Amino acid sequence: MKRFLKIGIKQIPVLALFLGLNCSDKDLKNNMSEIDKHSFAIPSDAQVVHLDLNLKVDFITKILSGYVDLLVENKSHTNQLVLDSRDLSIEKVELDDKNQKPEFKLGDTIKYLGQALTIKITPETKKVRVYYHTSPQAAAIQWLDAKQTLGKRYPFMFTQSQAILARSWVPLQDAPAIKFTYNATISCPPNLMALMSAENDTLLHADGVYHFKQSKPIPSYLMALAVGNIGFKSLGKNCGIYSEPDMLQKASWEFANMGRMIQSAEELYGKYLWGRYDVLVLPPSFPFGGMENPCLTFATPTVIAGDRSLVSLVAHELAHSWSGNLVTNATWDDFWLNEGFTVYFEHRIMEKIYGKPYVDMLCKLEFDEMKKEISEMGDTSADTKLKLNLTGRDPDDGVTDIAYIKGCFFLKTIENAVGRDQWDSFLKNYFKTFAFKSITTERFLTYLNTELIKDNKHLQESIRVDDWVYKTGLPKNCPKVESSELLKSEIAAKEYLHPEKINTNDWTTHHWLHFMRCLPKKIRSEDLEKLDAAFKFTQSGNCEILCDWFQIAIVNDYEPAYKAMENYLCSVGRRKFVQPLYGKLLANGNTRDLAKRIYTKARPGYHTVTKATIDQMMENK
C-alpha cells in the first residue's frame, strides 16, 4: 500500500517569506537538491553539531519536558535555523545569551513529517536553547503501565526513533545525513533506571538523575531513551544485559555468546569503536526485533526462546555498529546500505561462530521470505529496486526484504565474483574510509568501482551492478541457496500425516519454521490436531514458531488454537508477528470479526509503529 502526501514539502520559500528573509531562487534550488525529502532541515545553511538534552520523565502525564541546547554551525551565515518537530509544544527559545528571545514559528503539519520549527538566528549564533514538552501521543514513545511489564510493579517507557520519529521527542535536524554528538541529563522517578544510546551506568541512582555522554557523532534516528525497573548483568569485560530484574538470568543465558560475537565482528571488519556493547531487553510490546541504538541495542524479549536459537538478532544489531552506525545511509532511499550490509555482516559473524550449515538455514529461510514478498509486491514494482524513491511517503514503506535480503544477496554476488579475501579487505577499508559519515548508494557505487571493479569487464559482467541497484525484481545472477539441514524439514513435511514417523531430535527453530512452510496450504482440522498433539505447537513458548503455526491455523479454521492466538496478539506487539496474523484473520471471512474484536482489545498495548500498520490494514478491509 503506497501512501502519498497531499501537500509537497517545498514550503521553504513560504517560510522564508514569513520570516522576511532574503533567499534567492538560486539559493533555494541549490539547497533543495541537498535537502533530505523527509526533513525540513537545511544543513548546508545551518547544521546542528552537538546537542545537550535536559529532560524530566513524567509517567503520570506521559510527558517529557525540559530543554535542548543545540550547538549550531552556521555555514552560510544564514538568519534561520530549521528543525524538525512533530507534536511538540515549544515553550520558548533563547540564543547564546539568554536575553535574546528570537522569533520562532511552527509550520503547517504535514503527514509523517510533522512541522518545521524555524528559529530566527544571527550569523554569529552558536547555541540555541529550545524549551519544550512532548505530547502523550508522541509517535516515538511508548508508555507502559506497570501491568504491561514483567514485574507488574513499575511503569516503563522507551523510545523508537528510526526512521523519522526522533522529532516527536526532541526538536532536532532529523535526517540521517546529519550527525552530532550529545550529552543528556534525564530525571526520572527514584527506583527507576534511565538508559540511553550512550555511555551508561550499570547502577541505580537513588535520586533518579542520570547523566549521559555520546562522544561519537550519530544521526538522530539513533537517539534513544528507556526508563524502567531495570537491572544489569555483565557478560564479560565489554558487554552485558539490561532488563527487568526477573528477566536478567534468562536473557544472560540466552545471549552468553555476545563477547564472541564482538570478537568475531572485530576480526572481520575492524575495531568496535563505541566503548561497551550492551543489550537492553524490553517488554514484549517493543515493535521491532531489535534496534541498533549505539552502545545499547534495544531488543524484543521474543528472541529469548530458551534454546539460544534466535541469537542471530544480536549478531545483526551488533553488525550495525559498523554498517549503519559508523557508515550511515544518507537518505532513507539508501536504506539498503544500512540493512543489506548488516544482514551480510550478520551472516559472516554467525558463520564464524556456528558454521556454514547454520547460516545456510538462515539464508534459505530469508530468501524464501523475500521471494514471497516480491511476488506480493509484484516483481515490476519500483519498491523492489535497492535504490528506493520514497518521495512523499513514509520511510517505513521502505522497510521490506528488498533492503535486507536483496541487499545482502547483492553483496554475496560481489563476494562470489571477487573472492572472499579481496572482498573482506574492501569492506574493512569501506568502514574505515566512511566511518562517522553518511553516504548515498551512488557514493558507494563509485567507491566500489574505483577500489574493486575498475575497468574489469569480466567483473562488471558477473556482478551487474545496475541490475541489482536500479532494476526491479531479482537479477538473473542471484546466487542460489541450498540448505542441507532444511532438506530434513522438507522430507519431514511430506510425512505430515504420520507425525510419529518424523525424527525431530536435533531440530532448531529454523527446522520447525521450514517444516511448517513446506506443509500443504490446506490441511484438514483433524490432521492439524494430530500435528498439534505430536509437536505441541499451540503450547509452544517460541514466538517465531507460534507465528507460523497460528497462520496455518487461521487459513484452515483450526479453532483449538484461537484462544492461544488471542493471548499472543494481546501480549506481543512485535510488528513482524502481529501483522501477518491480522492479515490472515482479515483475509478469512470466518475470522474477520474475530480480528476486529482482538484488535480492539490488543491495540492499547501496541506501540504507535505497530498501531499505524494494523490500523491501515483494518481500514482497507
Q: Name the 3-class secondary structure at 500.
A: helix
Residues in the interface with ligand BES (CB under 6 A) total 14
Binding mask 311-340 for ligand BES (x = CB under 6 A): --x--xx--x------------------x-
Q: What residue 289 binds from ligand BES, Zn ion, none (CB within 5 to 8 A, per partner kind)? A: ligand BES
Options 66-74, 82-90, 282-290, 528-536: segment touching ligand BES (CB under 6 A) = 282-290
Calculate the CA 565 to chain-centre distance. Answer: 25
Count of residues binding Zn ion (CB under 5 A)?
2
User: Interface with ligand BES by CB under 6 A: which range of 10-18, 126-134, 284-292, 485-493?
Assistant: 284-292
Distance of closest approach, residue 340 Cβ to ligand BES, in angstroms: 11
Secondary structure string (H, E, C) spanning 273-314: CCCCEEEEECCCCCCCCEECCCCEEEECHHHCCCCCCCCHHH
Q: Catalytic: which of 244, 292, 317, 351?
A: 317
Q: What angle do CA 614, 618, 621 make, to 5 degrees?
A: 140
439: Cβ contacts below 8 Å, ≥ 6 apart: 327, 328, 329, 330, 334, 337
Q: What are phi and psi of 333, to 5 degrees?
A: -70, -20
C-alpha cell at position 492: 519431514
Distance CA(268)–CA(351), nearest Å, equals: 11
Residue type, 601: K
Nearer to ligand BES, 431 or 562 (CB): 431
Task: Classify 7 as helix, strand or coil.
Answer: coil
The distance of Cα 157 from the centroid of its chain, to the nearest Å, equals 18
Residues 561-590 that bind ligand BES (CB under 6 A): 576
Beta-carbon count within 10 A of 408 CB: 25
CB of 120 to ligand BES, least distance (A): 33
Closest distance to ligand BES from the beta carbon of 129 (Å): 30
Mark whether 373 is an active-site residue. Answer: no
What mask of x and - would describe binding to Zn ion in positions 537 to 576, judged by CB under 5 A? Answer: ----------------------------------------
Opening angle at CA 390, ends 135 and 402, nearest 5: 110
Q: Which of 182, 344, 358, 404 is catalytic?
A: 404
In the complex with Zn ion, which residue's Cβ is closer, 320 or 511?
320
Given the rule CB under 5 A, which of 325-333, 339-347, 378-386, 543-551 is the region that contacts Zn ion? 339-347
**Which residue from 104, 158, 169, 288 is in contact with ligand BES, where contact means CB under 6 A?**
288
Segment holding 261, helix H or strand E? helix 258-269
Residue that has been written with the C-alpha cell 565489554 in this structure: 238
Query: Where do the H-state alpha helices sit in 384-483?
Result: 401, 407-418, 420-433, 441-448, 457-463, 465-470
Other residues' Cβ atoms within 10 Å of the Cβ of residue 400: 22
Residue 415 among the catalytic residues? no
Q: Is 291 in the site for ligand BES (CB under 6 A)?
A: yes
Least distance from ligand BES to the Cβ atom of residue 339, Å: 6
Part in contact with Zn ion (CB under 5 A); list of ranges 41-49, 172-180, 331-339, 465-473: 331-339
**Grid coordinates representing 520?**
500443504
66, 289, 294, 340: residue in contact with ligand BES (rule CB under 6 A): 289
Instruction: Report how far residue 251's alpha carbon sits from residue 241's, in angstroms, rounded to the nearest whole number.
Output: 7
> How, if at all, do strands 277-281 and 239-243 pair?
parallel
CB of 38 to Zn ion, least distance (A): 18
> Per-residue contact track with ligand BES, 150 to 169, x per CB under 6 A?
------------xx------
For residue 240, list its beta bridge partners.
234, 278
- Pick the binder of ligand BES from 290, 340, 392, 573 (CB under 6 A): 290
Q: Give residues with Cβ within 8 angstroms of 184, minimum separation 6.
A: 52, 53, 54, 55, 196, 198, 211, 212, 225
- In the list 36, 45, 84, 292, the residue contacting ligand BES (rule: CB under 6 A) is 292
Cell numbers 562517522 correspond to 436
The smaller minimum CB distance to Zn ion, of residues 118 and 342, is found at 342
**Interface of this chain with ligand BES, residues 398 to 417, rule: CB under 6 A:** 399
Q: Counting contacts by CB under 6 A, is residue 194 touching ligand BES? A: no
- Taking the least distance from each CB to ligand BES, the nearer of 398 and 475 is 398
Q: Which residues sit at the interface with ligand BES, rule CB under 6 A?
A: 162-163, 288-292, 313, 316-317, 320, 339, 399, 576
Which residues are part of the catalytic machinery? 317, 404
Q: Which residues sit at the interface with Zn ion, rule CB under 5 A?
A: 339, 342
